[in-house]
Amino acid sequence: MSYDENNVFAKIINGDIPCKKIYEDAFAIAFEDINPKAPIHILVIPKGKFTDIADFGTNANAAEITGFWRAVSRISEEKNLKEKGFRVIANTGSDGGQEVPHFHVHILAGKPIGKMVQD
């Protein structure tokens, strides 16, 4: 899949549409999900143009990969998520339920998140 320059997260990175930003560094931006599924529902996206987690793992350089995952860890620390726990999800492709074709992870927290998948 080629990268869609007009996807909604590309527009957030470019500043073309607003977001409730909670973190930004050279490699990543994090903001609140517009349709939260838990009391804390944060999306973390790399600034680079990657369609999904497989594209990111294959084509991002080492600094981009390290920077992205460090950002996830920093957010978990800054939001005090480690004591009670949290879940990280990377929906990928159609069977994975991915809606936005720019790699992102969901951080869900603030209550017991429940079963990993539906039966």
The binding site for ligand AMP (CB under 6 A) comprises 8, 17, 19, 31, 33-35, 43, 91, 97-100
* Identity of the residue, 54 or 100, whose beta carbon is nearer to ligand AMP in the bound complex: 100
Q: Where are the strands (E) in 1-119, listed by range?
A: 21-24, 28-32, 40-46, 87-89, 105-109
Q: Which residues lie across from 89 on neighbouring strands?
A: 106
* Identity of the residue, 4 or 33, whose beta carbon is nearer to ligand AMP in the bound complex: 33
Q: Is 106 a catalytic residue?
A: no
Identify the CA nearest to 66 among candidates 103, 101, 27, 39.
27
CB of 41 to ligand AMP, least distance (A): 7
Active site residues: 104
